[in-house]
Structure 1
């Protein structure tokens, strides 16, 4: 080999060189090659960067405020529902009391009532007053009777059809009511048992 120093970029490699010599020559070439400089990241304008951060914080704040408002409304709704429906089971248990009072009042015909003695009339009037006070107390707590008069529109959410009979009422409306229904707030507590009109008999 020549004694002159070889430039790694221009030096020729002897074709008879050993593997070790070829490897050493390749390493020299790689070491002498200039390293590629990483492209410097483009510096963002500080004002622009702050504007982006401000917009992100604004969106987060708006989302948080919306979540808080939804949570507040949901809590108010739950409190209102709890206040209205807290007595649902108790009110349901009182419906049988109302039914029994109603049966007692309808058990006597007008003629039988007229024939009652003074104590009998007082007893009958006492039952009437008790029923009226019970209904007033229930109404104070949002428990009211479901309308189910002959000719009323049949509503499957509030009425339970137990028969389909010919009547003078329009077809599909209520012909008669067997048992009154009750609701608490907007929720049906007990559906009214009704007969649905099949129209006038032929």
Structure 2
């Protein structure tokens, strides 16, 4: 009986001796958790820019947009200047192609005048050759004849009626062509002079 009491007393002493250590461990662990929680929160928190950094980024963006605007403006000015130069050159040299085609015609006429006593046949042949050169020059420069045939309906946009004559054909139709007209690139240069029928 005495031995059992002694054993129980020893167990109580052991518990009392070990209890503070367990409690100490619990306290230490609690302190560890308490000290590590702020550090974890600080590590997880995102880094935010300061006001100065935000302003610097905005100023850099504004500068980038200004540079882009100035480059676009300069390019627009260059395009406008080149367009004006092209228009000026087009006005200055618009007749260059036609003049180049007319030079051979002038050469032929000058050669014909150098002949002292040309025959009728030679003169006619020279005129026909010159006319072909002139027609070729007209064709290259889109200069076409307005030459209606008898019976065509009078077109006020291309024909100019000089007089009305009695004719066995429908009224307001072309009877004769007194002078050919011409267009260039579908634009009327000169209307054809015609007579038209009075009608039956």
| TM-score (ref. length: structure 2) | 0.41
Task: Please tell me whether Structure 1 or Structure 2 has the larger radius of gyration of its CA atoms.
Answer: 2
| TM-score (ref. length: structure 1) | 0.41
